[in-house]
């Protein structure tokens, strides 16, 4: 179904290895294309897992060299996973030259600011999550999840990325249904509204397998029931493993392809 992966993180952001290690692994696995999509910088906020702004030009130049080096062996594509944070950064931000990317991935990892002025990254679980939840959303999980999906919709409508990254990543805070059930009406409504916005846009929705191999027994992003709804709305899809190590370059693809066929998807988008 898909002989490529468009979502990988290297040394340039929070991945384990140099870009060429992912490319070599992709060649070994017989892929025809590999996209490098490190976390884009966030202006004024140096973050642990985002690329420093001062590395951005070197990143583009480095990937240009690799594109040349691997001609005839594999197609190397340049991308960035760009955060959407209202009034701060988005997939069309001007610090990203418009001709620099073969495609963009737009994702949400941050929701508002903590009292100390730092961005609230909801993926940092542990004590950080209750603190951010309390400081930014007064402890209201429903408000926080609604804010997440509102941001997804704003991003898709106003700063349309080529790929919408890990649509329901926010569920990482809700393991073992700690706060809510996905069948609850308000959550179903958020998903329906968000899928409708994607269906009317030029964005492609990513099926991200990271949840399946990094967190055991977890669905992909988005969950299977959301994939069924996306198919009914004719939303185009692409597979990605969100690899932070070369070994995960296409992990979970075979498994997910079988499920997608059962749902009805017969093809994926190529970049």
Instruction: Tally helices (H) and strands (E) across the chain.
Output: 8, 9
Q: How far is the CB of 138 from Zn ion (least distance, A)?
A: 26
If the CB atoms of residues 18 and 263 are measured against Zn ion, the closer one turns out to be 18
If the CB atoms of residues 81 and 102 are measured against Zn ion, the closer one turns out to be 81
Distance CA 246, CA 105 (A): 19
- How big is the site for Zn ion, counted in residues (CB under 5 A)? 3
DSSP code per residue over 65-80? HHHHHTTTT-EEEEEE
Q: How far is the CB of 172 from Zn ion (least distance, A)?
A: 10
Residue 216: how many other CB atoms lie within 10 Å = 7
Where does 192-260 show beta strands of DSSP type E?
204-208, 237-240
78: Cβ contacts below 8 Å, ≥ 6 apart: 35, 36, 60, 63, 64, 67, 100, 101, 102
Q: How far is the CB of 266 from Zn ion (least distance, A)?
A: 26
Residue 107 binds Zn ion, judged by CB under 5 A: yes
Distance CA 103, CA 92 (A): 11
**Interface region with Zn ion, contact rule CB under 5 A, candidates 104-112, 118-126, 148-156, 183-191:** 104-112
- Fill in the per-residue mask, 234 to 263: x = in contact with Zn ion (CB under 5 A), - = not in contact: --------x---------------------
If the CB atoms of residues 5 and 133 are measured against Zn ion, the closer one turns out to be 5
If the CB atoms of residues 66 and 164 are measured against Zn ion, the closer one turns out to be 164
If the CB atoms of residues 103 and 234 are measured against Zn ion, the closer one turns out to be 103
Which is nearest to 175 in space by CA: 138, 122, 113? 122
- Positions in 64-83 near Zn ion (CB under 5 A): 81
**Interface region with Zn ion, contact rule CB under 5 A, candidates 28-36, 101-109, 123-131, 253-261:** 101-109
Distance CA 103, CA 63 (A): 14
If the CB atoms of residues 107 and 209 are measured against Zn ion, the closer one turns out to be 107
**Which positions touch Zn ion (CB under 5 A)?**
81, 107, 242
């Amino acid at each position: 179904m898909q002989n490529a992966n468009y979502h990988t993180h290297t040394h340039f952001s929070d991945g384990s290895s140099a870009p060429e290690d992912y490319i070599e692994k992709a060649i070994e696995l017989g892929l025809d294309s590999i996209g490098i999509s490190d976390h884009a910088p966030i202006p004024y906020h140096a973050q642990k897992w985002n690329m420093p702004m001062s590395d951005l030009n070197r990143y583009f130049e480095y990937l240009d060299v690799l594109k040349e080096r691997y001609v005839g062996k594999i197609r190397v594509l340049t991308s960035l996973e760009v955060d959407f944070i209202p009034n701060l950064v988005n997939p069309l931000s001007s610090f990203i030259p418009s001709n620099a990317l073969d495609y963009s991935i737009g994702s949400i990892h941050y929701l508002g600011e903590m009292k100390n002025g730092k961005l609230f990254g909801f993926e940092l679980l542990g004590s950080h999550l209750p603190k951010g939840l309390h400081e930014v959303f007064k402890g209201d999980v429903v408000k926080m999840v609604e804010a997440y999906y509102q941001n997804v919709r704003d991003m898709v409508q106003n700063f349309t990325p080529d790929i919408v990254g890990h649509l329901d990543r926010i569920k990482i805070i809700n393991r073992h249904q700690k706060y809510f059930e996905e069948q609850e009406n308000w959550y179903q409504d958020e998903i329906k509204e968000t899928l409708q916005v994607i269906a009317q846009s030029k964005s492609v929705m990513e099926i991200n397998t990271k949840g399946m191999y990094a967190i055991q027994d977890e669905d992909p992003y988005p969950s299977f029931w959301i994939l069924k709804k996306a198919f009914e709305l004719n939303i185009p899809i692409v597979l990605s493993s969100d690899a932070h190590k070369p070994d995960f370059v296409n992990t979970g693809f075979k498994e997910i392809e079988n499920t997608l066929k059962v749902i009805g998807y017969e093809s994926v988008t190529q970049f």
